[in-house]
Chain A
Amino acid sequence: EAQVTQNPRYLITVTGKKLTVTCSQNMNHEYMSWYRQDPGLGLRQIYYSMNVEVTDKGDVPEGYKVSRKEKRNFPLILESPSPNQTSLYFCASSTGLRETQYFGPGTRLLVL
């Protein structure tokens, strides 16, 4: 089954404790992206990647890092999480620049 998977689905952590949210797709998509969804703000793009080893900032990259060492994986790293990073995170992938994005199920993060 073609899908985008994210782990963990739920995470509670404390300020400053490094964490990684994994994202993997099995559709051989070149393009991948991370978003956060917050009440009243909709979805905002954090980082995107147009190919292996090619990443770029979205609208809200501060406090996040990403890497794209393999085509299928695009982990989101929070080196020192803060409470304002409490949010619902979505990973997405697509075949091309203007192609349909397929979203993962989301990761709900709470930073205390």
Chain B
Amino acid sequence: DQQVKQNSPSLSVQEGRISILNCDYTNSMFDYFLWYKKYPAEGPTFLISISSIKDKNEDGRFTVFLNKSAKHLSLHIVPSQPGDSAVYFCAAFSGGSNYKLTFGKGTLLTVNP
């Protein structure tokens, strides 16, 4: 049973346009969400996070939106750059004191020059 879902395996956008990556979750106990970026042959790197008490968090070109009622979050990248081409993983921590982190399957973003 997949608790964090990234339903788009891939996304292609033009340089300078907005990239929107989506993530849905089913576990209402999730209280902290993160986005990671992964280039081939490297480990994932942290991008941005959001707590369940917020609905938006912004860091430069990256903004994450959280809609708790819909159990949906999205990552917006504006403007998209070719260097943003990577696999993006959505991840969620469940509430409480454990360290369990659940990842989605990832979305491959390709930004075309």
Which residues of A are at the interface with B, using a C-beta cutoff of 8 A? 4, 31, 33, 35, 40-45, 48-50, 56, 58-59, 90, 92, 97-98, 100-106
Q: How far is the CB of A77 from chain B (nearest CB, A)?
A: 19
Contact A101 B106 (CB under 8 A): no
Q: How far is the CB of A51 from chain B (nearest CB, A)?
A: 10
A45: chain B residues at CB < 8 Å are 100-103
Task: Please report the total number of B residues contacting A with Cβ < 8 Å.
Answer: 24
> Are A50 and B44 also in contact (CB < 8 A) when A42-B105, A43-B89 are?
no
Contact A48 B46 (CB under 8 A): no
Of B11-19, B60-68, B69-77, B91-99, the stretch lying at the interface with chain A is B91-99
Contact B99 A103 (CB under 8 A): no
Q: How far is the CB of B77 from chain A (nearest CB, A)?
A: 19
B99: chain A residues at CB < 8 Å are 31, 33, 48-50, 56, 97
Contact A4 B100 (CB under 8 A): no
The 0/1 profile, CB within 8 Å of A marked 1, for residues 42-62 of chain B is 111110010100000000000
A31: chain B residues at CB < 8 Å are 99
Task: Pick from B45, B49, B103: contact of A43, CB below 8 A.
Answer: B103
A97 to B42, CA, bound (A): 23
